[in-house]
Amino acid sequence: MDRHPDIDKPARAPRWRAQATMTLAAWLVAFLVVIALSTLFNDELTSLPLPLRALVISGVLIALMVNLVMPLISAALSRRLPSPPGTRRVQRERPRLQPNKRHALTTHRR
């Protein structure tokens, strides 16, 4: 009995598609951030020498991309793209406050 090799494999997006999507999304957001910085701070930036202007724009761009944009894009794409076989997503539980226990900052001494 000859089996088709793709029948036993679960359907999922190829890895290159996820990487291309992440790259294009990051590129689009980086482009929009540079345009926004150039538009909002055009007068201040043009008064700076070119190397200093590039340093300021790249510094703001990297700080925004690493700390804000990429975590959001990554979370959004991980929800949309199927996970690889053999892996599972772990849902993190939020810690719940005990109703009988008071937090040290919320207790007031009279």
For residue 109, being part of any structural domain is answered with: no
- pLDDT at residue 84, rounded to an integer: 59
CA atoms within 13 A on the CB side of 99: 0
For residue 107, being part of any structural domain is answered with: no
pLDDT category at 8 given cuts 50, 70, 90 is low
pLDDT category at 77 given cuts 50, 70, 90 is confident
Average pLDDT, the chain: 78
**pLDDT of 95 higher than 80:** no
Tell me which residue range forms the domain holding 61: 31-80
Tally the domains of the chain: 1
Q: What is the pTM of this model?
A: 0.57
For residue 110, being part of any structural domain is answered with: no
For residue 18, being part of any structural domain is answered with: no
Mean pLDDT of 70-84: 78
